[in-house]
Structure 1
Amino acid sequence: MAEIHIRLNEKAHGAFYIAEAGKQLGEMVIGIAGKTLTAYHTEILPEEEGKGYGKQLLNAMVAYAREHRLQVVPLCPYVYAQFKRHPESYADIWQPDVAAE
Structure 2
Amino acid sequence: MDGVELKLNDKGHGAFVVSDNGKQIGEMEIEVSPTNLTVFHTGVIPEAEGKGVAKKLLSEMVSYSRSHKLKVIPLCPYVHAQFKRHPDEYADLWNE
TM-score (norm 2): 0.97
2:41 corresponds to 1:47: no
Q: What code does the residue aligned with 2:44 have?
A: I
Q: What code does the residue aligned with 1:94 have?
A: W
Q: Secondary structure at the match of 1:54?
A: helix
Query: Unpaired runs of 5+ in structure 1?
Result: 97-101
Q: What code does the residue aligned with 1:9 have?
A: N
> In the alignment, what sits opposite 1:7?
7
Q: Secondary structure at the match of 1:50?
A: coil
Cα offsets for 1:17-73 (capped at 9, x unmatched): 001110101000000112100000000001110000000000000000000000000
The CA distance in 2 between the partners of 1:95 and 1:49, in whole Å, is 28
Q: How many residue pairs were aligned? A: 96
Question: Runs (4+) of structure 1 moved beyond 3 Å?
Answer: none
Q: Aligned runs of 1:13-92 on 2, under 5 Å? A: 13-92=13-92
Q: Secondary structure at the match of 1:83?
A: helix
Query: Unpaired runs of 5+ in structure 2?
Result: none
> Identity, % of aligned pairs?
54
The CA distance in 2 between the partners of 1:42 and 1:50, in whole Å, is 14
Q: What code does the residue aligned with 1:56 have?
A: K
TM-score (norm 1): 0.92
